[in-house]
Structure 1
Amino acid sequence: MITRRKFLETGIAGTCAFCTGYAPFVSAINASGSYEEEFPAKEAMYYKQLPETRVECELCPRGCKVADLERGYCGVRENRDGKYYTLVHSRICSLNADPIEKKPLFHYLPGTKAYSIATAGCNIECKFCQNWQISQFRPEQIDSIKITPGEVVKFAQKRKCDTIAYTYSEPVVFYEYMYDTARHAKQEGVGSVMISNGFIKKEPLVKLCRELSAVKIDFKAFTEKFYKETCSGELKPVLETLITLKETGIWFEVVMLMVPTLNDSEKELRDMCKWINENLGPDVPIHFTRFHPTYKLKNLPPTPTKTLEKARNIALEAGLNFPYTGNVPGHPGESTYCPGCKKVVIKRVGFTILENTMKGNECGNCKRPIPGVWC
């Protein structure tokens, strides 16, 4: 296990992830020191006090009512004598320098890198979670290292990353850390993007968007049944989040992981694409990505390519201009096409850009504006 001192001395930030192993109830970095000294708690930004030293979290739609010395659903926020604290501020369990296309964000600074960070915790539980080793455990159960917001920004700059991405687990649960880092990054000319499930209340979302550059929302499905049974969540708050993002004017993209037999029916896809067009507009990119068996859904097969192609065609028929297929490297649906002349403006294979013919924010062929953040 790398120590904080060694980490800061060598400056290898952006090349490693700490969280691959599960360390029950003990963080290896604290083997020789105090847990509380290494990771001091920070008071949460959104909660209210209740009688008998209880608190109510006002960050996400769960609205957890938490007794003294107990934690909310996410496992990373704790009531201490009537005050609510985040236990994961500056407490990174995973980080890496990724292509921005990996998020995926296709209309945001293509070809650049994002310095990606995560802490433990999540406010829902998807049975197909690819990062369950960090999202479904408490912070003291996995290895972490202390990196302050200012240090994150410095490491991002050292790795020549234009953006910091809050990702891998669920950044809503490390809201204060994300907010502080994004503010610092903005002052230093570094962008910030949130990769989220969208399960957040409006007030903290609007405040956060003032510091962010872009958002990607993982849209799990278009039915309450799927959200409840497969993710222990709710659809309605996510729809409200998407509408709020539209209202703020921030750039955002949507991803839907296509899980065979659970959220891939033609009716659901048509209903969803219609809702997106009517409420968010035709220019919001939507990525239909391939599911791979993992965590608690190992009984289902990977998504057939034809299912992704069907979803993309339905989106086009519904009037959406930028539908993509994901997790199928080399598929034509990975590339960006101009809605005007229909020519490829950004050709991709996986996370690699092979060709970019855009001129500023316009199609290099017909001059039609292509929505996004291009420089």
Structure 2
Amino acid sequence: MARLQIDTDYLARTLRKLLSIPSPTGYIDTIVRFVAKELEGLGLQVELTRRGAIRALRPGGTHLGARALVAHVDTLGAQVTCLKPNGRLSVAPIGTWSARFAEGARGTVFTEKGGYRGTILPLKASGHTFNEEVDRMPIGWDHVEMRVDARARNAADLAHLGFEVGDIIAIDPQPEFLDSGFIVSRHLDDKAGVAVMLAALKALHEAKAETPVDIHWLFSIAEEVGVGASALLTPDVASLVVIDNGTTAPGQNSDEFGVTISAADQSGPFDYHLTRKLTELCRTNDIRYQKDVFRYYRSDSASAVVAGADVRAALITFGVDASHGYERIHMHALRSLAELVTAYVQSPVEITRDFQPTADIRGFTRQPTKEAVQEMSPDREDDETGA
């Protein structure tokens, strides 16, 4: 089935709105309400788990062998660990990110009395006071603190203002949308993936596209801390495609343009047949793609499978430079991903055996095992050794 045209203006507007909503893991109520409203506006009924993970169903030809797509709405952040005698806050990360990228970050501390703005700084931040000692400060969360923009000279002042250990800190994304198509911001992981899903759904909705099976549109709320889609999938889901960030860096094959299909992450290889299907859809629909293997990466699929979901899983990504730092992506990748999603959900189901949780060997898949036949160019008769 051919890809659908994507409204990139809607995609960009939606991403801007998502980035404007603070949503570190554990503080996701507002963004869940926003995404739920968008889904309802696109004609879907929404249900939430107890903690706020989102399920939305777009009916297809059958509920058997349903397909699911998932992105996560939560982001990295920080949390208060101590009210310090100097009137500042000790902090620890929410999710895995380096204190190198925390230094200088602006953010909001959410207390029960309301939010306070502040800045994460090295313990020795003043060059006029510490001179070269500033450059010799180690990098780590034990070597930074949060200066709150409030009248707080000691721990008692902080407590009086309402600060407590455990308060969650949202880090400002500081987004820039450039005319060249580049987008620079924190938290593109995975708000860009959420925007991709909504843009693909909008294209399907406006085209009144039909799908061979039900499509579950899922949004997890704790991926950054490893929980992910562990409690999101229903038993009728047979395949899960995760939309998240790829990693463009030396030694990686990800790219900021086109779709980056992950063949494996640190939890192991993704499903051979589903990954191959997505690759073939890129080829037949003229969608630029490349493949990569992520060595220090875990996504919603791993948490779902570890929790016991017997699904075929794959990961398609938008290449991100400086992941979990000041991230950069390009609209070309987001559009390409949304196009692939529309082609995938409309495509026929080849493995109908997956309609049932278990079955006998008949109809089970096959992987190629024969030795490949090497094709020689017509003007070359010698073998690879030149003999």
Same fold (TM over 0.5): no
TM-score (normalised: structure 1):
0.28
Higher relative contact order (CA 8 A, sep 6+): 2
Larger radius of gyration: 2
Higher strand share: 2
Q: TM-score scaled to structure 2, two decimals?
A: 0.28
